Amino acid sequence: MIPEKLVKVAERAQNALEQMPIDQRVAFIKKKSHVWRAFKRHLRAMSYGKCWYSEAMGPQSPYDVDHFRPKSEAQRADNEKDDGYPWLAFDWDNFRYSAERSNRLSTDEETGQTFGKSSWFPLVPNSPIACWDNRCTKQEKPLLLDPTRKADVALIDVGSDGRMIPSKTCTQAGKERVKASVRFYGLDLPDILAARRQVMIDLGDEVDKLLLLIADAMEAERAGDPNLIEMHRKTITGWTLPNRPFTLAARARLIELGLPELLAGPEDQLAIAA
């Protein structure tokens, strides 16, 4: 829950911004960066410390409060940019808790390709473009997936090799959005790809242990140790809870192994929220 006092601070900054001449807006926004930074720990709590874009989690990974729609400049293409969305600089609905590797520009040392969202905010062809005098953001069609929209999250999945891929229900337009998001959020950079793959490997090992216990019990024509079997089941289900890193990868691995019944359900999620 966002404290009301933080919301009020943001509202006051917004009201001041609305009264400013155009040539003073960018400087004012930069001066007031403490406003959105104050939201960080509350945004972090919403995702159990995970980056909203990558699901990565780590105490040595710096995190930012990203503006999904860039506050001072929007890069639409390599040679195309505009003033972005300054009126959303203090709108906490526009904030996303993001690892630096997803939010800031960086270079893949293996390929030399640049990754990171930074001020990039491309739109699909022929999309309306919102501006200060016409704030039609609801009519815009962003190319990047928004982690706060269920419909967007449903477009992306994890392949058997750990790479991010379009989901089975993705249309061609959706596939283009997934491709752009993987690039700009750096979702398949070597370090994060290795971490995601490790989750899938470790989960597979736990599944092997469970199946071996069940097989041994069936071969001996006995019930086996129900407590031990249940412990392994709970451990496996735990990998798919929202407080674990790379939950989507864990879920994809279980489905691939033909064990969707071990996925965490609403009652499991309520247990960690209690």
- What does the pLDDT look like over 29-48, one tens digit per residue? 999 999 999 999 999 999 99
Quick one: pLDDT at residue 113?
A: 80
Q: Measuring CA to CA, how many Å separate 18 from each of 133, 138, 231?
A: 11, 20, 57
Which whole-number Å values give the CA distances from 202 to 197, 206, 235, 245, in the listed order?
9, 6, 11, 13
pLDDT above 80 for 14: yes
pLDDT at position 88 is 98
Same domain, 124 and 208: no
Same domain, 213 and 138: no
Q: Is the pLDDT of residue 271 over 90?
A: no
Which residue type occupies 232?
H
Query: Are 9 and 111 members of one domain?
Result: yes
CB within 8 Å of 205: residues ≥ 6 apart: none
Helices 190-219 and 226-238: angle between axes, nearest 10 degrees: 160
Nearest to 185 by CA among 156, 160, 151, 159: 156
pLDDT on residue 115: 87
What is the domain extent for residue 229? 191-273
244 and 136 in a common domain: no
Q: Which residue, 168, 188, 208, sits at the end of a domain?
A: 188
Structural domain total, the chain = 2
Would you mind telling me the total number of residues written for the chain in this entry? 274
Helix H or strand E segment including 242: none
Is residue 79 domain-shared with residue 213, that is, in the same domain? no
Contact by Cβ (8 Å): 72, 22: no
Task: Give per-residue pLDDT as tens, 241-253.
Answer: 999 999 999 999 9
Residues 158, 195, single domain; the answer is: no
Same domain? For 175 and 258 the reply is no
Please indicate, yes or no, whether residues 131 and 204 belong to a single structural domain of this protein: no
Instruction: For residues 82 and 149, state if they share a domain.
Output: yes
**74 and 168 part of one domain:** yes
Whole-number pLDDT of residue 218:
76
Question: Where does a domain end: 188, 221, 243?
Answer: 188
Predicted TM-score of the model (pTM): 0.92
| pLDDT recorded at residue 60 | 64
Residues 104 and 126 in one domain: yes
Are 268 and 182 part of one and the same domain?
A: no
pLDDT in tens, 47-96: 999 999 999 998 667 899 999 999 999 999 999 999 999 999 999 999 99
Q: Final residue of a domain: which of 188, 211, 245?
A: 188
Q: Evaluate whether 145 touches 107 at the Cβ level (below 8 Å).
A: no
